[in-house]
Amino acid sequence: MNSVFVVLAVLLSTSLSLRTDKQFWKDLAKQELEEALHTKWNLHTAKNVIMFIGDGMGPNTVTATRMYKGGESHRLAYEKFPHMGLLKTYSADKMVPDSACSATALFSGVKNNKDTIGVDASVKRGDCERSLLPEARLKSLAAEALDAGKSAGFVTTMRVTHATPGPLYAHSADRSWECDAFMPAGTEHCKDIARQLVEDEPGKNLNVILGGGRNGFLPSSAANAWSCARNDSRNLIEDYEKDKKDRGLKYSIVSNKTELETFDTDNTDYLLGIFADGHLSYEYQRNETDMPSLSDMVAAAIKVLRKNDNGYFLMVEGGNIDMAHHRGWAKVAIDESAEMEEAVKVALEMIDEENTLFIVTSDHTHTLSINGYPERGSNIFDIAGASTHDGINYTTLSYSTGGPDSFHFYVHTDDNNETTVGRRDPSKENTNDMLYNQVAGIRLIENSHGGGDVAIYAKGPHAHLFHNVHEQHYVYHAVMYAMTHSSTEHYYSSGCALFASVIMLTSIFMINIILTF
């Protein structure tokens, strides 16, 4: 039944967005102007901070998600936030970053080298010795929150030891050192990332850890290129439990959706939930009776964290956006982005917006493009039209780089030994299939990241600090300021409040008159 309502809502939203009469455009502009004129700065201290990271969710992914959910004139929940800016995503050594260095910049306030976690740029990838030096190690927002007496935690659809959550608690010269099986010879005195999460500060003090990556915590021989395993025969989940018992802490360990929904919140200050051997399933493939959704995990996390009267810090990662983009599955990526917006809505319903700084952003872009001149209101996953060069159709979405399945070109040599290059016609394929590979211009092993700016959307205390084009590591410093500063001043000083109100009301009145004609 819910799916029927969703379809009806989308159809209604799309039909309204397809209006082209003069009054529609005037009303749309009037609404935006009134929102802008009523925007005020919240200068309270941010008791709580929630950061959503859409991994690989560049501006084109956001645009496509908007169209997917409601059409060109639709707005996603976080697109209604009053403040936003752009973040420059380059790292200390690369024009185009990975998630490890970009997450380190976001959470620790310093740009570092690609593929390194929680350390500064003096640490090159693989330099175990240098990563052990205290002066090379960075302190994250989660650690800062814990030191301030707040609670802290994270939720991810990835392995909990993966590149985005890792910088919250770990210091590693290589993002791939998630378990001891992936540690090369000569690095025995450096801890793998899973051990750092369970044994070291701030990892062992995190109040919420929810995601995947069970193999990295258990004795196993299942290590492969995409999934870690332990060679030291240790069970780190048991070690986590022992640590909490030894310290007399109230904790819960859950492993499926039912357990997540039924754990005793009142008697849980520390929650560990690992729901898959590797990454969590894509939302469209998720077993709803076993594996929790991102929204499920967010709701559970906030229930635990908000028990602390001093407040909390929560990071939420929609990581499967990135995973799908890497494989050239644009529809899966956009569906994952849509699911992350649902989790944003859940969080918004559970917070006090007056004391919670709420941020939605991304760590980096992908090479997704929105092409051609498709009709307004058309299916974002459909055909844009025929090429004016060769007459062959092409899709609205494409990638500049991609894996073998995204390379739709072929070479043909005829009987006269003349060679031509052709391209598959997507109109003869099901471009709406979840696993359809959009065409890519350059063939790689998989789609690469993009180096473009990403948007940051913010509301709550000091959200106005995000207001133009910022360095990515600026986010840490703005959040720290928001958590430690407050003012009794309003957006307008008290002496000018009445005058400002009159000016605002007059402006709105004049706008109404102008937009009527």
Written as one string, the DSSP assignment of 261-321 is HHS-GGG-SEEEEE--SSSPPPGGG--TTTSPPHHHHHHHHHHHHTT-TT-EEEEEEETHH
Whether 432 shows a pLDDT value over 90: the answer reads yes
Confidence at residue 513, expressed as pLDDT on a 0 to 100 scale:
52
For residues 257 and 296, is the Cβ–Cβ distance under 8 A?
yes
Tell me the C-alpha distance between 363 and 79, whole Å: 17
For residues 95 and 405, is the Cβ–Cβ distance under 8 A?
no
* 322 labeled part of a ligand binding site: yes
Tell me the C-alpha distance between 401 and 367, whole Å: 7
Whether 498 shows a pLDDT value over 50: the answer reads no
Whether 504 shows a pLDDT value over 70: the answer reads no
Most distant pair of Cα atoms in the chain: their distance: 87
pLDDT tens digits along 449-459: 999 999 999 99
**Averaged pLDDT, 117-123:** 98
Tell me the C-alpha distance between 512 and 163, whole Å: 50
SS3 514: helix
DSSP 448: P
* 326 labeled part of a ligand binding site: yes
pLDDT tens digits along 81-111: 999 999 999 999 999 999 999 999 999 999 9
**CATH no. for 46-365+453-484:** 3.40.720.10
The percent of residues in the chain predicted with pLDDT above 70, rounded, is 90
Which is it for the CA torsion 487, 488, 491, 495, positive or negative? negative
Whether 159 shows a pLDDT value over 70: the answer reads yes
Whether 497 shows a pLDDT value over 80: the answer reads no
The percent of residues in the chain predicted with pLDDT above 90, rounded, is 83
**Averaged pLDDT, 362-373:** 96
Confidence at residue 19, expressed as pLDDT on a 0 to 100 scale:
84
Least confident of 104-108, 368-372, 405-409, 472-476: 405-409
Confidence at residue 220, expressed as pLDDT on a 0 to 100 scale:
74
* 74 labeled part of a ligand binding site: no
Catalytic residue among 99, 102, 131, 362, which?
Answer: 99
**Averaged pLDDT, 342-360:** 97
pLDDT tens digits along 373-417: 999 999 999 999 999 988 999 999 999 999 999 989 887 777 888
* 349 labeled part of a ligand binding site: no
* 174 labeled part of a ligand binding site: no
Every domain of the chain and the residues it spans? 46-365+453-484, 374-443
**Averaged pLDDT, 269-275:** 98
Residues pairing with 314 in the sheet:
50, 153
* 147 labeled part of a ligand binding site: no
Confidence at residue 510, expressed as pLDDT on a 0 to 100 scale:
52
How do 368-370 and 397-402 pair as beta strands? antiparallel
The Cβ of residue 124 has, within 10 Å, a number of other Cβ atoms equal to 15
* 433 labeled part of a ligand binding site: no
Least confident of 159-163, 227-231, 313-317, 439-443: 227-231
Tell me the C-alpha distance between 209 and 299, whole Å: 13
pLDDT tens digits along 9-43: 444 454 555 788 999 999 999 999 999 999 999 99
Residue 128 is inside which H or E element, if any? helix 128-131
Written as one string, the DSSP assignment of 369-390 is EE-S-PPTT--TTSEEEE-TTT
pLDDT averaged over every residue in the chain: 91
**Averaged pLDDT, 60-89:** 97
* 488 labeled part of a ligand binding site: no
For residues 400 and 440, is the Cβ–Cβ distance under 8 A?
yes
* 164 labeled part of a ligand binding site: yes
Whether 174 shows a pLDDT value over 60: the answer reads yes
pTM of this structure: 0.91
**Averaged pLDDT, 138-142:** 98
For residues 318 and 335, is the Cβ–Cβ distance under 8 A?
no
**Averaged pLDDT, 365-373:** 96
Whether 207 shows a pLDDT value over 80: the answer reads yes
Active site residue 281: no
In single-letter form, the type of residue at position 424 comes to R
